[in-house]
Structure 1
Amino acid sequence: MDRAFTVLAAALLAIALAGLAVAAVAAPPARTATDTMAAADHAAKALRDADQFALISGRGNAHACQAGFESLRHAALRGKALDQLTLGALYLHGRDCGSFHLARNDHEASLYLAHAAIQGRLLAMPALAELDARRGRALQANVWALAYLHYAVPAQQNTGYPASLLHRTLGMLSQTQNKQVLADANAFILRYNAGIEAGQQQMLAKLQRHAACRIQLVHRHPHATLWQPSVLRIHPMHRALVLYLVAFGRDGHVHKLAPVFAVPQWRYAQRFRVIAENRRVEPAPACGRALRWALLPVELDNHRYRITGRT
């Protein structure tokens, strides 16, 4: 009897231990404090992204838009160049979002865009050139236009929107200013070149660190004809630059899109949004993010468009 009891107890103990082993294998590892903080940061960033998109798109309630503005402003004041570019662009055009109203403010736009530009956010340069042209500041407008041509245009080709911008701003100069502008542009580049190049390198390094989530267009240099004009001629109206904020899903399709700025006229932002909406990027199922956010610049040139490569 005792022997039988001993055998039964041993069998029950073996079964219990086996069950514990299975449970230990099946149970997920305990979350560490670092994992919990990372998850909280990820959730907070997703909320900030949603609030900022609500503000930029103008399709949110007042609470979300106010929160988006405050988070952008806080980051911009801390020196974040991307947020400075975005906030400056919002001030450039103004934004209505529910009952939240951000009035156009040339001074604030110039301040934030200039800080973004000298940290390597190149698309702030044409926005500043257009802003200074609108304010009648011909010399400053030309310096920004020449700087944009120097940094952002491959081989400094004087074509397309940059050529149109430079042509319009040069036409504003007096004879004295015309002689001065190249010296001023060279002085600007000499003074800020290190910071601009460093900013570009930092953006490249960030892309390399997050290779799994990198935004890569399916077609690197897409071109397409928008419409066929009855008379082939160059007209400044057909040259523009539009910057969109786009959220791509893991499948590479556009899930959200909103125009950030459009120059020389805001009407291009809505008229050509279909170009950005139809973009595709390489899928990233292993990215770990539901949405990948990117700034997508679209340059329009005499009835054609191209996706520019640098922001």
Structure 2
Amino acid sequence: MIGRFMHRVRRALPAIALAGLAAAAVAAPPAPPARAATDTMAAADHAAKALRDADQFALISGRGSAHACQAGFESLRHAALQGKASDQLLFGALYLHGRDCGSFHLARDDDKAVLYLAHAAIQGRLLAMPALAELEVRRGHALEANVWALAYLHYAVPAQQDTGYPASLLHRTLGMLSKTQNKQILADANAFILRYNAGIEAGLYRQMLTSARKPTACRLRPVDAHHRVHLPQPFSQIRIRPMQRALVLYLVAFGRDGRVHKLAPVFAVPQWRDARRLRAISGYRRVQPAPACGQALRWALLPVELDNHHYRISGRTGHS
């Protein structure tokens, strides 16, 4: 009896299994198309990036909760350690001046500023060079300050152009040298350029390709170099000391209408207060409107130079 029963069960098992699989196939919902899954992942990535951008802006601007600023610090530090030059520039600039953001405090640290800014500079982020030169002026390191000033002059200033801030920087740094150092500095600067030229030129080439690439609706092309900023009012009403030379780098978020939505100084040389004085001018910058972006903000690094009563966009940089 038991033997015949087990034999019947073994014969029935394949049919039972097939019936179960058929029932499961009927009950299971159809697999979503691959495109829908890709769109969902893209939306999640976009939301995560928007949150990182907001946290980093809170940190850089000093306006935000301690939690947001801590999150911005951690995400920026992670990107800088991954070797991303634009993030190294931002991260080093935080240590250049220090930041207070609610109860979050980041103390000024010259050594860390040099570490991250130098890595950004040798990857072609030229605006890290004047920041490093000014930092070494502050520390009284004449040779280092002049090497960075000469490198900036070499790479960033086109021929036959009124150099303005770079010239004033070089004038101040050369004044720090002794007679012996004066003879040594050109050899040091040439040695620096010989050693790092390939990396700097490669970084500049990548930035050129990014700038030349046609931007999508929600992606901002890096800000071009040496574009004049038109003043909405006479210079005499701006209340800036005459003949002052300054360079300020801002992190700017443009809205879908192409107008500045958010703006915060990343660094200001030679003095931090120059950032406040040039802020109003920077707010008048416009880019191509992008209504298809919805509420998405487009970010860029905007360098503004004050040179002999003229403001202008200076240097080559971008942020993504």
Matched, 1:301 2:314: no
Q: Is the 8 A contact 1:218 1:282 kept in 2?
A: no
Q: Which runs of 5+ in 2 are unaligned?
A: 1-32
Q: Is the 8 A contact 1:240 1:301 kept in 2?
A: yes
The residue that corresponds to 2:277 in the other structure is 271
1:92 maps to amino acid: L
Change (3 A) 1:209 1:39: farther
CA offset digits 1:122-181 (Å, max 9, x no partner): 000000000011101100100000000011111174631001100000000011111111
Measure, in 1, the Cα distance between the counterparts of 2:192 and 2:210: 27
The residue that corresponds to 2:54 in the other structure is 50
1:287 positional shift? 5.1
Measure, in 2, the Cα distance between the counterparts of 1:73 and 1:103: 15
Change (3 A) 1:250 1:83: same
Q: 1:199 aligns with which of 198, 203, 210?
A: 203
The residue that corresponds to 1:36 in the other structure is 40
Q: Is the 8 A contact 2:254 2:298 kept in 1?
A: yes
Aligned pairs (5 A) from 1:68-147? 68-147=72-151
Aligned pairs (5 A) from 1:62-73? 62-73=66-77
1:219 positional shift? 11
Matched, 1:239 2:245: yes
Measure, in 2, the Cα distance between the counterparts of 1:74 and 1:271: 32
Q: 1:227 aligns with which of 221, 228, 235?
A: 235
CA offset digits 1:176-226 (Å, max 9, x no partner): 111111111111111111111111122233344561233377997224566
Count of residue pairs the alignment pairs up: 279
Measure, in 2, the Cα distance between the counterparts of 1:158 and 1:272: 20
Q: 1:255 aligns with which of 261, 277, 283?
A: 261
Runs of 4+, deviation exceeding 4 Å: 216-220, 223-226
Rg comparison, structure with higher value: 2
Change (3 A) 1:194 1:156: farther
CA offset digits 1:74-94 (Å, max 9, x no partner): 000110100100011110000
Q: Is the 8 A contact 1:217 1:281 kept in 2?
A: no
RMSD (Å) for aligned C-alpha atoms? 2.4
126-135 or 29-38: which moved more? 29-38
Measure, in 2, the Cα distance between the counterparts of 1:179 and 1:156: 26
The residue that corresponds to 1:7 in the other structure is none
The residue that corresponds to 2:286 in the other structure is 280
286-295 or 300-309: which moved more? 286-295
The residue that corresponds to 1:4 in the other structure is none
Q: Is the 8 A contact 2:96 2:135 kept in 1?
A: yes
The residue that corresponds to 1:171 in the other structure is 175
Measure, in 1, the Cα distance between the counterparts of 2:226 and 2:287: 9
Q: Is the 8 A contact 2:88 2:117 kept in 1?
A: yes
Q: 2:194 aligns with which of 190, 203, 214?
A: 190
The residue that corresponds to 2:316 in the other structure is 310
Say which SS state the counterpart of residue 259 (structure 1) adopts. strand
Q: Is the 8 A contact 2:257 2:290 kept in 1?
A: yes
Measure, in 1, the Cα distance between the counterparts of 2:85 and 2:223: 23
Q: Is the 8 A contact 1:160 1:239 kept in 2?
A: yes
Change (3 A) 1:289 1:144: farther
Q: Is the 8 A contact 1:84 1:115 kept in 2?
A: yes
259-268 or 283-292: which moved more? 283-292
TM-score computed with the length of structure 2 as normaliser: 0.81
Q: Is the 8 A contact 2:224 2:316 kept in 1?
A: no
Measure, in 2, the Cα distance between the counterparts of 1:134 and 1:306: 25
Q: Is the 8 A contact 1:216 1:282 kept in 2?
A: no
The residue that corresponds to 2:28 in the other structure is none
Identity of aligned residues (%): 78
